[in-house]
Amino acid sequence: MQKRHLGRSGVSVSSIGFGLMGLSDFYGPPSKEEAMKSLLHAISRGITFLDTADVYGDGDNERLLGEAVKSHGREGLTIATKCGIVRDKATNRPTGVNGRPEYILEACQKSLDRLGIQTIDLYYLHRVDPSVPIAESMGAMAELVQKGMVRHVGLSEANPSDIRKAHKVQPIAALQNEYSLVTREIEIDVLGTCRELGIGLVAYSPLGRGLITGSFASASEIKDGDVRKSHPRFQSENLLKNKELAEKVREMATRNHMTPAQLALSWILAQGPDIVPIPGSSRISHIDEFVDGLAIPVPFQELVRLTDLFPLGIAKGLRYPEEALKRVYMPPAPEPKSTGAAH
């Protein structure tokens, strides 16, 4: 497995990471035994950049990773986790954010305990708390670095202004944002900000939560307990339209002797050496698919064609339900390109 550097931070990770979220929560998770097998298999295939969060499974996901680390050994692994999203105790669903310094310090210690390690390699503020100045939240993150509890810090779904303010308090190693063929909004202003400051990009949901690979023929196939049931892109008419996008990827993938997932990941990796996608799956066959795809070359012309086929905003429906969208940065829509015609 080749390595990539997260910006100018000095953090070196496997060229693709592994997102653990679905092993404990949100998509109708597998049994713990199946989840552990998948996680250990990913590590055995050279995926050593492992991403979790305290909110995934309300701590269970970190415990799962902690058991895997104990089984495999800490050496060679890059452990990333997050804090800042809080759950409603009545519904057990994520409902808000907390960026208070005392909360961050407490949350980090709890994550270390669940993971069974002394230092977290990359610790993210999962969402920026609008009620707390970002400099105060980042001051707590800097304190964690000073105490040796955290090696590097990151942000997730932050706007360019907050990224700059945070970076002045404590250098940001990585920004974690949704990025895929069907979610390209970071290209408007966030990605450029990161590159100016030397911050790497960790791309979550690089397969569009299964949208790009055509995981569902209709909305009725999405099971209860799967969070995608509430996502606009997976509902009725939107999903039918988005299936057409998945078919475009499938056609091009077949032409290049690869799967849609492999082509989608190749496209992300081609967007820059400072970008690391973190696909996730509970299926060992999918993990093998991700890794095996790294060895399949894709002609440059095909990547350009794919970029043109998936312009910004092509997917039908919002990427999150409206309530969840309040906790992520949505950049302004780009100005329409001038045709140069006289008026």
Q: Which two tokens stand for residue 157?
A: 């779904």
The helix-helix angle for 160-169 and 190-197 (nearest 10°) equals 20
Q: Which residue has the tokens 């707590």?
A: 140
251: left (phi over 0), alpha (psi -120 to 50) or beta: alpha
Q: Give the list of residues 6+ apart from residue 112 with CB closer than 8 angstroms, or none.
A: 118, 119, 120, 149
**Catalytic residue status for 56:** yes
Which candidate in 56, 204, 320, 329 is catalytic?
56
The helix-helix angle for 60-72 and 101-115 (nearest 10°) equals 40
Closest CA to 4 of 78, 81, 82: 78
Q: Is there a contact between 49 and 78 (Cβ–Cβ < 8 Å)?
A: yes
CA distance 45 to 333: 40
Q: Which two tokens stand for residue 304?
A: 């350009």
Active site residues: 56
